[in-house]
Amino acid sequence: MTVLVMGDRVALVLPPAEVLVLEPDEADDLAALLERAADCAEGDSSWASSTPT
Protein backbone atom coordinates (compact mmCIF):
# COMPACT_ATOMS: atom_id res chain seq x y z
CA MET A 1 0.00 0.00 0.00
CA THR A 2 1.16 3.49 -0.81
CA VAL A 3 -0.13 6.55 1.03
CA LEU A 4 -0.12 9.93 -0.69
CA VAL A 5 -0.99 13.20 1.03
CA MET A 6 -2.49 15.74 -1.34
CA GLY A 7 -3.32 18.96 0.46
CA ASP A 8 -6.19 18.15 2.79
CA ARG A 9 -6.85 14.74 1.20
CA VAL A 10 -5.19 11.37 1.58
CA ALA A 11 -4.98 8.80 -1.21
CA LEU A 12 -4.36 5.11 -0.61
CA VAL A 13 -3.01 3.14 -3.56
CA LEU A 14 -3.80 -0.54 -3.07
CA PRO A 15 -2.92 -3.52 -5.21
CA PRO A 16 -3.98 -4.11 -7.93
CA ALA A 17 -3.84 -0.41 -8.80
CA GLU A 18 -6.94 0.64 -6.87
CA VAL A 19 -6.93 4.19 -5.55
CA LEU A 20 -9.03 5.41 -2.63
CA VAL A 21 -9.14 9.16 -2.05
CA LEU A 22 -10.22 10.11 1.46
CA GLU A 23 -11.84 13.44 2.24
CA PRO A 24 -10.48 15.29 5.31
CA ASP A 25 -13.10 13.82 7.68
CA GLU A 26 -12.45 10.31 6.39
CA ALA A 27 -8.70 10.80 6.80
CA ASP A 28 -9.26 11.92 10.41
CA ASP A 29 -11.36 8.80 11.05
CA LEU A 30 -8.64 6.59 9.54
CA ALA A 31 -5.98 8.25 11.71
CA ALA A 32 -8.08 7.65 14.84
CA LEU A 33 -8.62 4.01 13.88
CA LEU A 34 -4.88 3.49 13.29
CA GLU A 35 -4.06 5.08 16.64
CA ARG A 36 -6.55 2.78 18.35
CA ALA A 37 -5.04 -0.26 16.60
CA ALA A 38 -1.55 0.81 17.69
CA ASP A 39 -2.74 1.15 21.29
CA CYS A 40 -4.23 -2.36 21.14
CA ALA A 41 -1.03 -3.73 19.64
CA GLU A 42 1.06 -2.38 22.52
CA GLY A 43 -0.53 -5.02 24.76
CA ASP A 44 0.47 -7.83 22.37
CA SER A 45 4.25 -7.60 22.03
CA SER A 46 4.47 -10.57 19.65
CA TRP A 47 2.29 -8.76 17.09
CA ALA A 48 3.99 -5.40 17.55
CA SER A 49 7.48 -6.87 17.20
CA SER A 50 6.61 -8.45 13.84
CA THR A 51 5.15 -5.24 12.43
CA PRO A 52 7.51 -3.21 10.23
CA THR A 53 8.10 0.38 11.32
Q: With bands split at pLDDT 50, 70 and 90, how would you rate the model's confidence at 1?
A: confident
How many C-beta atoms lie closer than 10 Å to residue 10's C-beta?
A: 19
Domain parsing of the chain, residue ranges: 2-49
Lowest mean pLDDT among 7-11, 16-20, 38-42: 38-42
Q: With bands split at pLDDT 50, 70 and 90, how would you rate the model's confidence at 21?
A: very high
Q: How far is CA 27 from the centre of its chain?
A: 9
In this prediction, what percent of the chain has a pLDDT beyond 70? 81
Number of helices (H) and strands (E) in the chain: give both, helices first: 2, 3
Strands (E), the chain: 2-6, 9-14, 18-22
Nearest to 3 by CA among 16, 14, 23, 35: 14
Q: In this model, does residue 13 exceed pLDDT 90?
A: yes
